[in-house]
């Protein structure tokens, strides 16, 4: 009987190095991977195996192109490893733990604080299970030549990786972005978490201090509060989610405070320090700040999460040698995602565009069309929805009301509160509203903001409407199942139809009914 096969030691590790993270790494950066012999020339060489790179590579290969895909770290990029997947796993656990939303139904608060380590392990287990979709083996089996290592342009026709030269007809930069530390005095001397490290926690923080009230900061602050940690959230702005509709942000802000998040908004951080009574992650993190009223505060937490800023991954790619320009916002691209070197494209978070997985996916389609076929696809034609996964969630697509006014676009606004929707009332989830921005005098939807517990799942018909110029008549003429929270769309259509009933039309109708 032969001895059991020993798995090779991986040079890539994710903490904690348990069976789940080992399975993840075995899929997305296997230790025993051997790079293939390069083909004579590739139609497409893609650097970076996040969403933009993965979709570009596999779709191009499915179409019959010769494709090479290069990844220096973990295939799957931010989304799988440190973004969408782990964050939503934690948010799901937090919502299941949140006893405040169970009390109105007669459910008793849970005994004890719950098992934080088990919740985090569940997330790691699910992430490992999903990781096969982005695995090196799957892409290799699909006909993509997968190279693990650092890729670098050595000419505008060649990329070097692990000593091999890959010749290309076209190349794609899809290296993504990373967390960037803001210039706060003392931060560089204090151990802190980012979105790339917070998911490695196995013990619940006693007091988590979060800097940045954008989407990541708000999602994680609220989730950790629901999981039983004391949470303080700091931002210079006078509201959370400053880019969102103010009314929508106010609903979420109130919900976060209800969940126990301590807010310091309009605040200025003077200094960050670390106490001397501990080492590394065990030392207290001290944040000294001044609030909007001029009062000074000193916060002491056992964990600090910095959720401000992103930086494009452009270092070490040899971009200067091939005439690809970039700045702090990312690689410069035109409307067809071509860089300043026409042989080379860029897609996803490494560009100055919005940082969303679904936009990176859409970028991949544009790159495939323009790099391999007739260059007719343009980013300007894209309509990009997004969702912030707080409780309640905020979904948005198209124009905001304030944007329409700033651009001089004549509009009508329809707003329906969730407490007008029976299912939202029955679910105890009536916090929120649907706001529609309509073309003046028309039913055409130019923009939509939805605040609801399941806003993300309710956004697709609104994204469809804004993208394809559909109007409220479409919803008015559609039968919606009852009772659902999605019925808010039908209520908005009915409200628009009622408002269209002008005094003149009402008078004509009265005359009609007298006559029959």
Q: CA 67, 28, 52 angle in degrees (round to 5)? A: 50
Phi, psi of 291 (to 5 degrees): -85, 180
* pLDDT for residue 279: 58
Beta bridge mates, 304: 209
- Residues 292-326 pLDDT 10s: 999 999 999 999 999 998 999 999 999 999 999 99
Using N-to-C axis directions, what is the helix angle for 116-130 and 84-97, rounded to 10°? 140
Confidence label for 8 from pLDDT (cuts 50, 70 and 90): low
* Token pair in block for residue 438: 């309509």
Q: pLDDT value at position 5?
A: 45
Residue 505 — pLDDT band, cuts 50, 70, 90?
Answer: confident
Q: Tell me how far apart the alpha carbons of residues 479 and 217 are, in angstroms, rounded to a whole number.
A: 39
3-state class (DSSP) for residue 287: strand
What CATH number labels 392-499? Answer: 3.30.390.30
Fold agreement between 187-308 and 392-499: no
481: which residues sit within 8 A by CB, 6+ positions away? none
* CA-based nearest residue to 260, from 152, 391, 365: 391
Would you state the pLDDT for residue 277? 72
In CATH, the architecture of 187-308 is 3-Layer(bba) Sandwich (3.50)
Residue 10: what pLDDT? 63
Check residue 510 and give its pLDDT: 83
What's the pLDDT score for residue 379? 98
Phi, psi of 243 (to 5 degrees): -85, -10
pLDDT in tens, 191-248: 999 999 999 999 999 999 999 999 999 999 999 999 999 999 999 999 999 999 999 9
For residue 78, give the nearest of 105, 100, 48 by alpha carbon. 48
Average pLDDT over residues 261-283: 87
Q: Is the Cβ–Cβ distance between 193 and 179 less than 8 Å?
A: no
Q: Check pLDDT > 70 for residue 48.
A: yes
Quote the percentage of the chain above a pLDDT of 70.
Answer: 97
Q: Which residue has the higher pLDDT, 299 or 508?
A: 299
| Prediction pTM value | 0.94
Sort strands 67-71 and 42-47 into parallel, antiparallel or unpaired.
parallel
Q: Mean pLDDT over all residues of the chain?
A: 94
Query: How far apart are alpha carbons 173 and 161 in whole angstroms?
Result: 14
User: Is the pLDDT score of 1 beyond 60?
Assistant: no
- The total of other beta-carbon atoms located within 10 Å of residue 108's CB is 8
pLDDT tens sequence across 78-101: 999 999 999 999 999 999 998 777
Q: Is pLDDT of 382 > 80? A: yes
DSSP 408: T
386/402 Cα distance (integer angstroms)? 18
Task: Report DSSP state, residue 471.
Answer: B
Burial class (CB in 10 A: 0-12, 13-18, 19+), 332: middle
Domain layout of the chain by residue ranges:
19-178+312-380, 187-308, 392-499
pLDDT at res. 223 = 98
Q: Which two tokens stand for residue 377?
A: 């696809």
Domain 19-178+312-380 part of CATH 3.50.50.60: yes
Q: What are the structure tokens assigned to 229, written together?
A: 């940690």
Output Rg (C-alpha) for the chain, integer angstroms. 26
Cα separation, 346 vs 367, in Å, equals: 8
- Edge-to-edge strand ranges of the sheet holding 261-265: 261-265, 230-235, 207-211, 303-306
Helix or strand run (H / E) with residue 251: helix 246-258
- Is the peptide bond between 231 and the residue preceding it cis, with omega within 30 degrees of 0? no
pLDDT digits (tens, 9 = 90+) for 321-359: 999 999 999 999 999 999 999 999 999 999 999 999 999
Tell me how far apart the 2 most distant CA atoms of the chain are, in Å: 98
pLDDT number for residue 281 = 60
Q: For residue 193, list its beta bridge partners.
A: 305
């Amino acid at each position: 009987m032969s001895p059991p096969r020993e798995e090779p030691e991986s040079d890539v590790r994710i903490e904690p190095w348990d069976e789940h993270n080992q399975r993840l790494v075995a899929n997305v950066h296997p230790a025993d991977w051997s790079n293939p012999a390069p083909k004579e020339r590739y139609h497409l060489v893609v650097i970076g195996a996040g969403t933009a790179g993965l979709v570009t590579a596999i779709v191009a290969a499915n179409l019959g192109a010769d494709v090479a895909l290069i990844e220096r770290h973990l295939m799957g990029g931010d989304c799988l490893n440190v973004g969408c997947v782990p964050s939503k796993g934690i948010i799901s656990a937090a919502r299941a733990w949140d006893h405040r939303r169970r009390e109105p139904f007669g459910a008793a608060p849970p005994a004890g604080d719950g098992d934080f380590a088990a919740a985090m392990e569940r997330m790691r287990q699910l992430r490992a299970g999903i990781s096969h979709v982005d695995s090196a083996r799957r892409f290799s089996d699909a006909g993509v030549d997968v190279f693990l290592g650092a890729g670098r342009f050595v000419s505008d026709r060649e990329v070097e990786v692990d000593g091999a030269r890959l010749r290309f007809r076209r190349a794609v930069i899809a290296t993504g972005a990373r967390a960037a530390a803001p210039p706060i005095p003392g931060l560089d001397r204090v151990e802190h978490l980012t979105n790339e490290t917070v998911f490695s926690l196995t013990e619940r923080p006693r007091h988590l201090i979060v800097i940045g009230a954008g989407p990541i900061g708000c999602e994680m602050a609220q989730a950790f509060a629901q999981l039983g940690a004391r949470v303080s959230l700091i931002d210079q702005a006078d509201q959370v989610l400053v880019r969102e509709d103010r009314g929508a942000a106010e609903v979420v802000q109130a919900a976060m405070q209800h969940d126990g998040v301590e807010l310091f908004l309009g605040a200025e951080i003077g200094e960050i320090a670390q106490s001397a009574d501990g080492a590394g992650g065990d030392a207290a993190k001290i944040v000294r700040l001044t609030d909007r009223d001029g009062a000074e505060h000193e916060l002491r937490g056992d964990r600090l999460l910095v959720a401000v800023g992103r930086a494009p991954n452009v270092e070490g790619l040899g971009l200067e040698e091939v005439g690809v320009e970039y700045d702090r916002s990312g690689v410069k691209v035109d409307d067809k995602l071509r860089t300043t070197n026409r042989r080379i494209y860029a897609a996803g978070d490494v560009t100055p565009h919005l940082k969303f997985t679904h936009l990176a996916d859409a970028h991949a389609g544009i790159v495939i069309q323009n790099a391999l076929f007739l260059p007719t696809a343009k980013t300007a034609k894209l309509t990009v929805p997004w969702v912030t996964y707080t409780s309640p969630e905020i979904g948005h697509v198209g124009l905001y009301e304030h944007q329409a006014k700033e651009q001089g676009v004549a509009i009508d606004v329809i707003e329906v509160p969730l407490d007008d929707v029976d299912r939202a009332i029955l679910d105890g989830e009536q916090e929120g509203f649907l706001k529609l921005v309509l073309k003046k005098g028309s039913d055409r939807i130019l923009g939509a903001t939805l605040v609801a517990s399941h806003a993300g799942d309710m956004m697709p018909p609104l994204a469809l409407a804004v993208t394809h110029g559909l109007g409220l008549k479409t919803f008015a003429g559609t039968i919606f199942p009852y009772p659902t929270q999605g019925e808010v769309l039908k209520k908005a259509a009915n409200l628009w139809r009622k408002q269209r009933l002008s005094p003149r039309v009402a008078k004509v109708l009265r005359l009609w009914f007298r006559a029959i």
